[in-house]
Amino acid sequence: MTRDGHTDGAPTPGELGLPEHSALTMEGRVERAGMVGSRLASARRGEARPLRQSPWAFGLWLILAVLVAVVAVAVIAFLT
């Protein structure tokens, strides 16, 4: 046993410089999975709007359309 109480030698998230609920830790992954599950459940009950109806949806579709247009122009320029 070391002076800080660890016996297995595996560093804690704090020792690695990560926040406790980082996506790189098991606690963070469990927390994110719970948030996704509760979001889906509340959307099914009608308490939250589905993501496709959110205010962000238009902006995300716009970004996707611009990206597709840029790729199309690059392909056409490459082929000519």
Dump pLDDT digits (tens) for 16-71: 676 666 666 677 777 778 878 887 788 778 776 666 677 777 888 899 999 999 99
How many C-beta neighbours within 10 Å does residue 28 have?
16
8: pLDDT confidence band, cut at 50, 70 and 90? low
pLDDT of residue 1: 46
Give the start-to-end residue ranges of the domains of the chain.
1-48, 52-80
> Which residues fall within 8 angstroms of residue 28, CB to CB, at 6 or more apart?
19, 20, 21, 22
pTM as predicted:
0.39
